[in-house]
Amino acid sequence: METALIPVTVIVMTRNEAANIAACLALLDRFAQVLVVDSDSTDATAGIANAKGAELIAFQWNGMYPKKKQWSLSHAAVRHDWVLFVDADERVTPQLVVEIAALMTRGPQAAAYFIDSRPLWLGRVLRHGTPYRKIALLDRRRTRFPVCPDLHVTRMWEVEGHYQPMVEGPVERLSGRMIHADAKPPADWFDRHNRYSDWEAELAHGGDAIGSLLAGERGLRRGAKRLLARVPGRPWLAFLHAYVWHLGFLDGKAGLHHALSRLFYYWSIDLKRDWLAARDAASQPELSGALRSEPADQPALALSSPSPASVFTSSNVRRRTASSGIR
């Protein structure tokens, strides 16, 4: 007896994901529709997607809203009301597929569902460390992504950043997981998270984006994220949260590297946020005297130079990716 297809549209957003897309799509054959929304990939992403039987949709961002996720949700090619967002470097587990199939058979009671994921680091799936959770399965009729005031962030790109969609109705959590298994080298991780930290620093410096960033959060998650954005020593708290509180040390060397990556990421955000504040302060009239006290043959303060992000973006390893989330 042939297994019925799950009446869900899977959306996989890509830009130059040839290293990941085949493994991602290979696990999605039970879903009734798989859309690959591609942003002018210059590698073999589109060809691989076609060969795997996915429907390919071209996306070209116009620099405005809606960005890629909301644009995809509203696209006429989406045949089902329920949508599962899967990143190209994510792998759905068999347990998750079975759970979603059962959910659709009996009828969802919520409007959206959180799905946890576990990262693959140094060849092993981490069993411990900070859990990652996002709203990935949703009823597109009752879900939309908030408009975040981030179009001024020059190094941000076409995909919505680190914030949850707004959902009209209850939100529950599935027990099945995804595995985050990026086949790209660490240089791509640094490039991607360097962009993310630029984005988060700019929004934290501006101070007017917190409402949009938390619009899709509820309850304790909303309060915890608001508090974490202001607490001193945040990088070390992120490390301890992953390595000690969530027992990341039990994952050995991979767990240590993962916890250190979280420390580095939040340190990057705080450094860039403080750099922006120092740049603005240096432009104030009350500092003019201090600046004039420098010897005439000394260069002016370099606070108007490119941000600390240039330590990565000026290198030859810079590549633009469409992945999301610190993993």
List the alpha helices (DSSP H) in the chain.
21-25, 45-51, 68-73, 94-106, 186-206, 210-213, 219-228, 234-240, 252-282, 288-292, 310-313
pLDDT in tens, 265-274: 999 999 999 9
Arithmetic mean of pLDDT, 224-235: 74
Which residue ranges make up each domain of the chain?
6-184
How far apart CA 269 and CA 309 sit, in angstroms, is 10
Residue located via tokens 């990565």: 312
Backbone angles phi, psi at 316, to 5 degrees: -80, -5
Rounded mean pLDDT of 151-162?
82
pLDDT of residue 200: 87
Crossing angle, helix 252-282 and helix 186-206, to 10 degrees?
A: 40
CATH number of this structure's domain 6-184, picked from the four choices 3.60.20.10, 3.90.550.10, 3.40.50.1820, 3.40.50.150: 3.90.550.10
In this prediction, residue 291 has a pLDDT band, given cuts at 50, 70 and 90, of low
The more confident residue out of 189 and 217 is: 189
Segment 3-9 mean pLDDT: 94
In the numeric block, which tokens belong to residue 73?
């949700």
CA dist list (Å): 302 to 282, 298, 305: 10, 11, 5
**pLDDT, the chain, mean:** 85
pLDDT (average), residues 207-215: 60
